[in-house]
């Protein structure tokens, strides 16, 4: 399916009809992030609210998806319920290859169904089923029922939301094939606002491979690089949780709502501990031989007569940070138990954990009480956090409804904004220093993956404002191209520009192969212009005081340096977006 | 004679590298389906994966069912496929007791030919080329 144009399916839930459109832009918008931004500009509305039925939710893949290993992500873009601005969320799983084999570069959902529904797409099928009977069902049960309703086992992707998405919680996620997520910034609510509970994508098309032997030869070389070298080892050995010990050792791991950056209790929840005590097996995204998905097991006796049940919960660095160190839950199985509830209600585990950490400190300091939290919150009390997660996902009362819109929204009502760990959205697990704090605060997705700020912090102790800002802008440009491909960012060490150019060339994208840097800069600019058109201003985002009061391996945070970085980075973003 | 076997399929992570390599290298295609080995979840991702592929019957019911000798018996089990002789009748698909033959929309059929090209693409060594004694394989 090598073509200069994009093949896009637009599905309108208000009319129940879809249409295929062909869009130009392969050499400029590339796919993934760039394609999603382009489609939002065409089918979205910058000035309408995130939950306006006309707003699109967009799923886009890249030119090499299916053709090369680890080109296995899907970009989902939408106007976020969290900040009412344009955003992206990325997920692995099977959706990328499923879209490829459904003969689509992108799927755009517009309109709103009158009742809860499921969209089913393949290369020769589109249908929309009423599934009102699944209202309120959790993510795992929904997945099981959708599996039984549609054919294509193993060769399909099942995206779905839980109660949190249905209730328009701004921290709700879209679950992708049980173990992956379009996690951040409220994709679940974006679907919930459309009464769209599930999307089943069946990949049933067959394409000819590019002519000649070059493609298959290059594929084998790339495959060898990603499997036979140490380059990807950290992702399939302990996985990302290997970083917990390292960051704790250098006083850069947030503990107890970022009241500390290191704690000996890491022994109970580091990567080794999770692997030794809970790891059941690995799993992979389709098209990726690395297999970085680590599935942990919790065995639970539910009846005194030795009656057991067990849960399989996929874990990564970030949820162990947000539900472990941030909540002071220091036993691996307890972390998995909370994560299991997050999964079921369909919450983003990172945002949910950080929000509960704020609520716990707010309880300690007397800003809120059991009247608001329903269950008493105490750092380390895993069972209470499981119950609180249920309340957060279900918006059980006014407090949880507000907290689900963001910790700062709750703090504005109840107090405690100084210690809300929010950098544009609830923080990622890196208390590495000023560069990361500025980078997440103003990053396009408010993600640790927008740029390598956390890595920069760990390698530099000097203060170089201009150098940092140049690094963040340049690094983002390269990543914007990678996420337009749509490559897993774990492969960024393998897919350097030279190799990307060879891969593009081997399948026939010769022009794009020669303009990678230009395309990256163009997409970076397009995304920022789109975000700014929906209301982004750097000055409107503040950094809570907590981030100024911590100590990292470099020593206490330098407030003036952090402020200068934020100001300079914000100016650089606005400049690049306005640059003709 | 060697046949493809899946002694360690419990290690499968669902990456589809085997299917994709068969489609790419044997059939010159990009697909999850047009391959001699196809990976399915065994009742959802939480229960792991199964590999759908030819078990090398001898005699092979699909070869017996083929009216044009496009499928013929392979020594040691399985079939030898001569695409030019296939009339896309689908009789082999019906005859296979384990759904190991995929039929595309045009009636083209895809079955494992036990060439072993998928084996090296499995990152967890789930697949093996197993040597079988001719007499043992008779079923």
Is the CB of residue A287 less than 8 Å away from at least one CB of chain B? yes
In whole angstroms, give the CA distance from residue B20 to residue A410: 49
Determine phi and psi for B50, rounding to 5 degrees. -125, 155
- Who among B31, B44, B123 is closest to A144 (CB)? B44
* A289 vs B contacts (CB less than 8 Å): 15, 17, 121, 123
Q: Are B60 and B10 in contact (CB under 8 A)?
A: no
- Who among B16, B31, B49 is closest to A206 (CB)? B31
**What pLDDT is recorded for position A413?**
98
Is the CB of residue A69 less than 8 Å away from at least one CB of chain B? yes
Q: Are A544 and A422 in contact (CB under 8 A)?
A: yes
Average pLDDT of the residues of chain B = 93
**What pLDDT is recorded for position A234?**
74
**What pLDDT is recorded for position A2?**
80
What are the structural domains, with CATH classification, of chain A? 6-202 (3.60.9.10), 229-415 (1.10.569.10), 426-578 (1.10.599.10)
- Who among A203, A205, A312 is closest to B46 (CB)? A312
* A178 vs B contacts (CB less than 8 Å): 44-46
* A219 vs B contacts (CB less than 8 Å): 24
Domain span at residue B128? 2-137
Q: Are A1 and A104 in contact (CB under 8 A)?
A: no
HEC readout, chain B: CEEEECCCHHHCCCCCHHHHHHHHHCCCEECCCCCCEEEEECCCHHHCEEEEECCCCCCCHHHHHCCCCCEEECCCCCEEECHHHCCCCCHHHHHCCCCCCEECCCCCEECCCCCCCCHHHCCCCCCEEEECCHHHHCC
- Who among B13, B41, B45 is closest to A291 (CB)? B13
For testing contact with chain B, the best of A123, A154, A313 (most B CBs within 10 A): A154
CA atoms within 13 A on the CB side of A277: 16
**What pLDDT is recorded for position B137?**
53
Q: In which residue ranges of chain A is pLDDT below 50? A: none
DSSP class of residue A427 equals P
Minimal CA separation from A345 to chain B, in Å: 18
* B18 vs A contacts (CB less than 8 Å): none
* A286 vs B contacts (CB less than 8 Å): 14-16, 32
* B49 vs A contacts (CB less than 8 Å): 154
Is the CB of residue A205 less than 8 Å away from at least one CB of chain B? yes
For testing contact with chain B, the best of A148, A210, A283, A503 (most B CBs within 10 A): A283
pLDDT at B48 over 70: yes
* B40 vs A contacts (CB less than 8 Å): 153-155
Whole-complex ipTM: 0.89
Which helix (H) or strand (E) element contains residue A219?
A: helix A214-228
Residues in chain B: 139
In whole angstroms, give the CA distance from residue A533 to residue A314: 37
Q: Residue B119 belongs to a domain with what CATH number?
A: 3.30.70.20
* A283 vs B contacts (CB less than 8 Å): 13-14, 45
Average pLDDT value for residue range B109-126:
96
DSSP class of residue A150 equals S
In whole angstroms, give the CA distance from residue A442 to residue A83: 13
Is the CB of residue A288 less than 8 Å away from at least one CB of chain B? yes
* DSSP notation for A323-380: IIITTT---HHHHHHHHHHHHHHTB-HHHHHHHHHHHHHHHHTTSS-HHHHSS---TT
pLDDT at B28 over 60: yes
Each residue of A86-102: pLDDT tens digit? 999 999 999 999 999 99
**What pLDDT is recorded for position A3?**
84
Residues 165-194 of A with CB under 8 A from B: 177-179
In whole angstroms, give the CA distance from residue A569 to residue A557: 18
Q: Is A295 exposed, middle or buried (0-12, 13-18, 19+ CB in 10 A)?
A: buried
**What pLDDT is recorded for position A580?**
52
Contacts for B45-50 with beta carbons within 8 Å, 24 or more apart? B45/A177, B45/A178, B45/A179, B45/A283, B45/B14, B46/A178, B46/A312, B48/A281, B48/B10, B48/B12, B49/A154, B49/B9, B49/B12, B49/B13, B49/B14, B50/B9
- How many domains does one find in chain B? 1
* A66 vs B contacts (CB less than 8 Å): 20, 30
Average pLDDT value for residue range B106-128:
96
Minimal CA separation from A515 to chain B, in Å: 26
- Who among B16, B29, B48 is closest to A208 (CB)? B29
Each residue of B60-101: pLDDT tens digit? 999 999 999 999 999 999 999 999 999 999 999 999 999 999
Contact B30 A293 (CB under 8 A): no
First to last CA, chain A: 34
Q: Are A101 and A209 in contact (CB under 8 A)?
A: no
Contact B32 A203 (CB under 8 A): yes
Distances (CA, A) of A340 to A89, A335, A404, A554: 21, 9, 18, 36
Each residue of A44-56: pLDDT tens digit? 999 999 999 999 9
**Structure tokens given for A466:** 């201009």
Q: Are A347 and A170 in contact (CB under 8 A)?
A: no
User: CA of A179: which chain B residue's CA is closest?
Assistant: B45
């Amino acid at each position: 399916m090598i073509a200069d144009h994009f093949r896009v399916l637009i599905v309108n839930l208000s009319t129940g009809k879809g249409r295929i459109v062909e869009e130009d832009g392969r050499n400029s918008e590339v796919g993934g992030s760039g394609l999603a931004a382009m489609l939002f500009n065409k089918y979205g509305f910058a000035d309408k609210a995130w939950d306006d039925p006309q707003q699109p939710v967009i799923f886009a893949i890249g030119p090499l998806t299916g053709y090369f290993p680890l080109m296995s992500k899907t970009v989902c873009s939408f106007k976020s319920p969290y900040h009412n601005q344009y955003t992206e969320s990325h997920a692995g799983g099977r959706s990328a290859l499923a879209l490829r084999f459904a003969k689509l570069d992108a799927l755009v959902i517009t309109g709103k169904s009158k009742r809860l529904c499921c969209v089913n797409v393949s290369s020769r099928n589109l249908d929309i089923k009423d599934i009102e009977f699944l209202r309120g069902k959790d993510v795992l049960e929904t997945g099981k029922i959708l599996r039984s309703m549609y054919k294509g086992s193993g060769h399909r992707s099942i995206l779905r939301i839980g109660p949190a998405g249905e209730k328009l919680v701004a921290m709700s996620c879209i679950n992708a094939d049980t173990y992956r997520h379009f996690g951040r910034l409220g994709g679940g609510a974006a679907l919930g606002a459309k009464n769209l509970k599930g999307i089943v994508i069946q990949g049933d098309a067959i394409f000819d491979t590019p002519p000649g032997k070059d493609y298959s030869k290059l594929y084998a070389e790339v495959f060898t690089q990603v499997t036979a070298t140490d380059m990807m080892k950290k992702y399939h050995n302990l996985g990302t949780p290997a970083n917990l010990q390292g960051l704790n050792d250098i006083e850069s791991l947030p503990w107890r709502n970022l009241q500390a950056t290191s704690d000996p209790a890491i022994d109970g929840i580091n990567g080794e501990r999770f692997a030794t005590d809970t790891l059941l097996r690995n799993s992979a995204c389709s098209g990726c031989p690395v297999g970085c998905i680590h599935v942990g097991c919790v065995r639970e006796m539910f009846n005194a007569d030795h009656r057991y049940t067990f849960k399989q919960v996929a874990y990564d660095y970030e949820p162990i940070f947000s539900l472990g160190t941030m909540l002071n839950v220091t036993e691996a199985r307890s972390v998995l138990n909370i994560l299991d509830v997050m999964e079921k209600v369909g919450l983003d585990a990172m945002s949910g954990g950080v929000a509960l950490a704020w609520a716990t400190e707010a309880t300690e300091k007397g800003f809120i009480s059991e009247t608001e939290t329903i269950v008493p919150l105490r750092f380390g009390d895993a069972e209470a956090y499981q119950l609180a997660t249920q309340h957060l996902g279900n918006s059980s009362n006014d407090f949880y409804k507000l907290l689900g819109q963001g910790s700062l929204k709750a703090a504005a009502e109840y107090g405690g904004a100084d210690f809300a760990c929010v950098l544009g959205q609830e923080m990622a697990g890196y208390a590495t220093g000023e560069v990361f704090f500025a980078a997440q605060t103003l990053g396009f997705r408010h993600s640790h993956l927008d740029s390598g700020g956390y890595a920069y912090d760990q390698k530099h102790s000097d203060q170089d404002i201009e150098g940092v800002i140049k690094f963040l802008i340049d690094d983002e440009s390269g990543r914007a191209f990678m996420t337009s491909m749509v490559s897993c960012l774990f492969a960024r060490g393998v897919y350097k520009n030279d190799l990307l150019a060879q891969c593009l060339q081997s399948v026939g994208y010769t022009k794009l192969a020669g303009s990678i840097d230009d395309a990256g800069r163009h997409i970076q600019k397009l995304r920022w212009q789109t975000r700014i058109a929906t209301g982004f201003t750097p000055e409107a985002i503040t950094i809570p005081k907590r981030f100024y009061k911590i100590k990292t391996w470099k020593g206490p945070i330098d407030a003036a340096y952090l402020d200068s970085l934020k100001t300079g980075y914000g100016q650089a973003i606005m400049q690049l977006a306005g640059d003709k | 004679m060697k046949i493809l076997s899946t002694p360690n399929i419990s290690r499968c992570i669902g990456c589809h590298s085997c299917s994709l390599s068969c489609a790419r290298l044997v059939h010159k295609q990009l697909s999850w389906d047009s391959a001699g080995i196809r990976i399915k979840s065994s009742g959802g991702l939480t229960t792991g994966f199964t590999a759908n592929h030819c078990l090398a019957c001898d005699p092979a019911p699909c070869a017996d069912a083929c009216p044009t000798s496009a499928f013929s018996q392979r020594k040691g089990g399985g079939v030898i496929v001569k695409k030019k002789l296939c009339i896309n009748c689908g009789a082999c698909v019906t005859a296979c007791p384990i759904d190991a033959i995929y039929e595309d929309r045009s009636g083209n059929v895809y079955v494992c030919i036990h060439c072993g090209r998928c084996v090296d693409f499995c990152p967890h060594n789930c697949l093996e080329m197993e040597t079988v004694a001719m007499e043992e394989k008779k079923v």
